[in-house]
Amino acid sequence: MSEIMNTQQITGIVGAGTMGSGIALTAAASGESVIVFDSVDTALQRSDVMIKSTLKQWVEKSKITSEQSDEIFKKVHFTSDLNDLSSCTLVIEAITEQIQIKSDLFKKLEDVVAAETILATNTSSLSITLLASGLKCPGRFLGLHFFNPAHIMPLVEVVSAIQTQTGIAESARRRVETWKKICVNAKDTPGFIVNKVARPYYSEALRIFEENLANIPTIDFVMTTVGGFKMGPFQLMDFIGHDVNFTVTETVWKSFFYDSRYRPSLAQQKLVEAGFLGKKSGRGFYDSQISASTYESQINHTKDLHIMIFNRIFAMLVNEAADTVYRTICSREDLELAVTKGVNYPNGLFEWGEVFGYGKIIDILDTLQERYREERYRVCPLLRDLAKV
């Protein structure tokens, strides 16, 4: 560890799993020294292998030279001793998504690092404010939410807790921007920006399916061809894994005090109960044994059905975007960046909503609310204001 002690900026990563390894590689590729700590030795070994093999791929694709690859790899140091993080000026935690395990770790970390070290969590769903409340110095704590794979996805949500001191988020943001990341500022609210705004993409699609208004291949076909999304909602849920996707929805729903707009789906819950977790288990909404052409033959090519599917999902997405800005969770500009860089939507939702017509979106939602008499379809006041402009 001694050879890196003189370096000015050292980043500590706690948790050498999927996210920790990707973040470590990102920082090292930008020239920072990184110390990766994990309590499990095999996790450190796996991280070492993952970073080396990614660097090898970069060399093979001529993204970097083999000398650069060696330089980057030299910047990454693995340790099973938490005390080795003492010289870090920023520590990002990426361990198991459990509040008690994370809180215990931050208590130990506070005794190891300097008073001015910024402490960050990469949590996807836990309250930053609650995690901060367990610290002796909660003012230096914030969320830095990277997306998977962290060395490829450009977006980072910079999430301030109510205790986060002025300047800490800005300082962390500047640091992460030197890693060529695109940062957006978010208030500490369930799902932050992306995991909140993206909920209707899954939940409205599930709702259309559960009501038997359209089948799964048709909904996916419409959202990819008419909508231009890279993956249809069911393909995407299968890809993410239903255990993960269902848990995020359930957490957001509970955290917003059971707001019906985020209510999870029974169809998805059944998949989780059955262990049909999607791509990782060979079966989710789709069965990997069944050929794509079989599913293609099930697509219903009725224009009115296509319009209904797209309009419902799209209107709910734009309404969720408006709600997020209306509640001052983030700025409109950051929301557009978050959806295009964090979940690869083809357009920003405000830009798209404006072209489609805010008045038309309001009509779609009002018609749905009239039909279902559910709060789920209530129109955000900001959307009504935008329609008047």
Ligand X SMILES: NC(=O)c1ccc[n+]([C@@H]2O[C@H](COP(=O)([O-])OP(=O)(O)OC[C@H]3O[C@@H](n4cnc5c(N)ncnc54)[C@H](O)[C@@H]3O)[C@@H](O)[C@H]2O)c1
Among positions 10, 19, 128, 364, the unique one binding ligand X when judged by CB under 6 A: 19
Q: Which of 93, 157, 320, 336 is catalytic?
A: 157
Our finding on whether 148 is near ligand X (CB under 6 A) is yes
Give the active site residue among 77, 145, 242, 306: 145
Q: How far is the CB of 85 from ligand X (least distance, A)?
A: 11
From 65, 16, 58, select the one nearest 39 (Cα to Cα). 16
Catalytic: which of 21, 33, 69, 124? 124
Binding-residue pattern over the window 105 to 144 for ligand X, x denoting contact by CB under 6 A? x----------------xxx--------------------
Out of 17, 134, 139, 154, name the contact with ligand X by CB under 6 A: 17
Q: Closest CB to ligand X among 309 and 337?
A: 337
Task: Single out the residue of 13, 16, 92, 271 in contact with ligand X (rule: CB under 6 A).
Answer: 16
- Is 17 or 139 the residue whose CB approaches ligand X more closely? 17
> Burial of 81 by CB count in 10 Å (0-12 exposed, 13-18 middle, 19+ buried)?
exposed
Residue nearest ligand X (C-beta atom): 17
Choices 146-154, 176-184, 222-230, 293-301; region in contact with ligand X by CB under 6 A? 146-154
Q: Which two tokens stand for residue 25?
A: 């590689």
Q: Please tell me whether residue 235 binds ligand X under the rule CB under 6 A.
A: no
- 249 near ligand X (CB under 6 A): no
Q: Which is nearer to ligand X, 43 or 216 (CB)?
A: 43
Number of residues that bind ligand X (CB under 6 A): 23
As a whole number of Å, the CA-based R_g of the chain is 22
Work out which of 10, 11, 15, 325 binds ligand X, going by CB under 6 A: 15
With CA atoms as reference, report the closest residue to 380 among 327, 312, 336, 309: 327
- Please say which residue, 131 or 216, places its beta carbon nearer to ligand X: 131
Q: Are 14 and 91 in contact (CB under 8 A)?
A: yes
Q: Which of 5, 49, 101, 290 binds ligand X (CB under 6 A)?
A: 101
With beta carbons less than 8 A apart as the criterion, state whether 85 and 12 touch: yes
User: What 3-state class would DSSP assign to 148?
Assistant: coil
3-state DSSP call for residue 265?
coil
As measured in angstroms, the least distance from the Cβ of 29 to ligand X is 18
Q: Is 6 a catalytic residue?
A: no
Catalytic status, residue 157: yes
For ligand X, the binding residue among 9, 18, 68, 215 (CB under 6 A) is: 18
Query: Which is nearer to ligand X, 19 or 365 (by Cβ)?
Result: 19
* Lookup result for tokens 């002796």: 136
From the list 18-26, 56-64, 65-73, 351-359, the region that binds ligand X by CB under 6 A is 18-26
Which of residues 24 and 168 has its CB atom nearest to ligand X in the complex?
24
DSSP-assigned states of every residue in 159-209: EE-TTPPTTHHHHHHHHHHTTTPEEEEEES-TTTTHHHHTHHHHHHHHHHH
Give Cα separations from 10 to 91, 122, 141, 218 (angstroms).
9, 18, 17, 50
Q: Taking the complex as a whole, how short is the minimal distance between the CB of residue 193 and ligand X, in angstroms?
A: 13
d(CA 318, CA 321): 5
- Give the torsion sign (CA, 252, 253, 256, 262): positive
3-state secondary structure (DSSP) of residue 345: coil
* Identified binder of ligand X from the candidate list 48, 64, 68, 97, rule CB under 6 A: 97
* Sheet with 90-93, side-by-side order of all strands: 76-79, 33-37, 10-14, 90-93, 118-121, 141-146, 155-160, 182-187
Find the part of the chain contacting ligand X (CB under 6 A) among 60-68, 88-96, 229-237, 283-291: 88-96
**Residue 49 three-state SS:** helix
Helix, strand, or coil here: 347? coil
* Catalytic residue set: 124, 145, 157, 195
Task: Provide the binding-site residues for ligand X, judged by CB under 6 A.
Answer: 14-20, 38-40, 43, 94-97, 101, 105, 122-124, 146-148
